Amino acid sequence: MKKWQIAVVMLLAAFGSWFGLNTQAQAKTYTIATDTTFAPFEFQAKGGTYKGIDIDILKAIAKKEHINYKLKAISFGAAVQQLSANQVDGVIAGMNITPERKQTFDFSNAYYTSGVVMAVAKGSKIKNFSQLKGKTVALKTGTAGATYAKSIQSKYGFKIKYFNDSNNMYNDVKVGNSAACFEDYPVMSYGIKNGIALKIVSKQYEAGDYGFAVKKGKNAVLLKKFNKGLKAIKADGQYKKIVDKYLHSSESSLTGETASSRTFIGLFTQNLSTIGSGLWMTLELTIISIILATIMGLILGVLGVMPGKLGPAISSTIIYIFRGMPLMVLAFFIYIGFPDLIGHGFKIPAFVAGMITLMLNEGAYTGAFVKGGFQAVDDGQMEAARSLGLPYWTAMRKVIMPQGIRIMIPSFINQFIITLKDTSILSVIGIVELTQTGTLIIARNFEGFKIWLMIAIIYLIIITLLTWLSNWVQRRIN
């Protein structure tokens, strides 16, 4: 086959699989969100699949009750937000049933009861709450641990620092930035057993129930099936088997990793496919966003230097809004806020939302320097072109733009590099790109230093390649 034929076949295959996914969705497939790093309830095993008590219980119940579902692993905070925005059908993520949450969600019967414990660094002398006075305590947002610690904060006089993810919280305690953390007992004990250098120093407080959640008033059928299935797997012993499997075994037997794979190279080869797919996602997002942002930036730049007041006003307003908004806020707004506003079960795929986010943000920055570049072209150029009888747009296209764009090339290169790095922020809306891949891998093997080093090196390599490419283009143009 010739090259173009292969390309056509691949395109058709891509369309095919896309349609395939779509038809599947019509046969009522529920999207169930879960957390990414909450071992032993959920964590990523070798090869990128998810494992854990929640995952296995859901699987067993689904089998019993014939529920079709698609698992979506995102951060806990994002999962809860997406459920309330109707972006997913249910959440199973070691979620405590609380009166506040019952305002927005309907919960299943409790499937696990857990208590909160305090953990400190291995060498720490802290043994009880009163020793926390004036010190900082690390908490993970939205957890029972966080709620409990908040309730005793004024009594014991400590400061609070919030994290989105368990590992970062543990590490903060481990390196001594925070004196202690509060975490659900099974999660903490699992982590410690698997190499986290912390120790539990309190008994279990505030035992709370974990439940499967759907949005209030929605998916009643799903909830009913879940309750029925839960009863069934408790009755036939499957439930006990799942819980025992995770609470009484070490991590490596579950994730399939061996001690020998803990070297830098070993970790790299072990996680090659996970990192590869994250890298691919990062590149895809970067390239598409760069193209879209460049188009948007050029339009904004041209509007910005147009004669009259309207064009410049539109341009500077758009630049003002999207340059002024933190990328993360913009991502949340588009992915969660916007569908919430429209309602009617409107959903935006995370990838599309991520792309739009980057386009608007990077496009605004691009617009600003494109406008500047055009303005940097001497006024005499436009005057000379116009005095020859050339209409405004011809003068713009033939005289101003070619000169302006040359001035802008270094800014474009800079913006491309920024775009690449900014893709990492999109992990907050559940896009599993390179950075998120790192978080997921560390969530199961706790090899923070080696994995982050690996991720950092990969970013530097791509940025180096991008810089070379840009320099080559710059030489060609000049």
Partner 1 sequence: MAKVVVKDLHKSYGDNEVLKGLNLEVQDNEVVCMIGPSGSGKSTFLRCLNDLEVPTKGQIVISGYDLSDKGTNINLVRENIGMVFQHFNLFPHLTVLQNITLAPIQLKKASKEAAEKTARDLLDTVGLGDKADAMPKSLSGGQKQRVAIARALAMNPKIMLFDEPTSALDPEMVGDVLDVMKDLAAKGMTMIVVTHEMGFAKEVADRVVFMADGLIQETGKPEDVFDHPQSPRLQDFLNKVINV
Closest alpha carbon to 219 in 81, 90, 84: 90
Closest CA to 120 of 177, 39, 43, 190: 177
Q: Compare residues 103 and 478 and give the one whose CB is closer to partner 1.
A: 478
Q: Considering the complex, what minimum distance in angstroms separates the CB of residue 299 from partner 1?
A: 22
Which residue, 157 or 410, is less far from partner 1 as judged by CB?
A: 410
CB of 402 to partner 1, least distance (A): 5
316 vs 381, beta carbon nearer partner 1: 381
Closest CA to 182 of 137, 152, 249, 244: 137
Q: Does 386 bind partner 1 (CB under 8 A)?
A: yes
Note whether 32 and 58 are within 8 A (CB). yes
Taking residues 405 to 434 in sequence order and writing x for each that binds partner 1 by CB under 8 A, - otherwise, the string is: -x----------------------------
- Per-residue 3-state assignment (H helix, E strand, C coil) for 144-194: HHHHHHHHHHHHHCCEEEEECCHHHHHHHHHCCCCCEEEEEHHHHHHHHHC
Can you read off the two tokens belonging to residue 264? 């830098």
Closest CA to 112 of 184, 23, 10: 184
Among 91, 254, 353, 399, binds partner 1 (CB under 8 A): 399
Nearer Cβ to partner 1, position 222 or 382?
Answer: 382
Using CB under 8 A, which residues numbered 32 to 91 contact partner 1?
A: none
Cα-trace Rg, the chain: 26
Cβ(271)–Cβ(277) under 8 Å? no
Stretch that binds partner 1, among 149-157, 302-310, 313-321, 387-395 (CB under 8 A): 387-395
Write the interaction track for partner 1 spanning residues 323-362; mark x where CB under 8 A is met and - where it is not.
----------------------------------------
Cα gap 330→475, rounded to integer Å = 36
| Segment lying near partner 1 (by CB under 8 A), choices 114-122, 180-188, 400-408, 409-417 | 400-408
Scanning residues 186 to 225, which ones bind partner 1 (CB under 8 A)?
none
Using CA atoms, how far apart are residues 423 and 357, in angstroms rounded to an integer?
A: 10
381, 414, 467, 474: which one contacts partner 1 (CB under 8 A)?
Answer: 381
Of 338, 278, 353, 336, the closest CA to residue 88 belongs to 336
Residue 78 tokens read as: 């994002």
Provide the minimum distance between the beta carbon of 393 and partner 1 in the complex, in angstroms, as a whole number. Answer: 11
Rounded Cα gap, residues 478 and 377, in angstroms: 17
The verdict on 376 binding partner 1 (CB under 8 A) reads no
Among 235, 344, 380, 449, binds partner 1 (CB under 8 A): 380
Q: Which of 109, 153, 189, 403 binds partner 1 (CB under 8 A)?
A: 403
| Binding test (CB under 8 A) with partner 1, winner from 389, 449, 475, 476 | 389
Q: Based on the shown chain and the rule CB under 8 A, indicate whether residue 383 belongs to the binding site for partner 1.
A: yes
Q: Record the tokens describing residue 67, joined without a space.
A: 């529920």
Contact letters for partner 1, residues 129-168 (x by CB under 8 A): ----------------------------------------
Quickly tell me which residue has 């090659």 as its tokens: 272
Decide if residue 308 touches partner 1 (CB under 8 A). no
398 binds partner 1 (CB under 8 A): yes
- From candidates 204, 317, 394, 464, binder to partner 1 by CB under 8 A: 394
Give how far Cα 66 sits from Cα of 6, 103, 226, 228, 229, Å. Answer: 39, 29, 10, 12, 10
Dihedrals φ, ψ of 193, to 5°?
-60, -25
- The residues that touch partner 1, with contacts defined as CB under 8 A, are 378, 380-381, 383-391, 394, 398-399, 402-403, 406
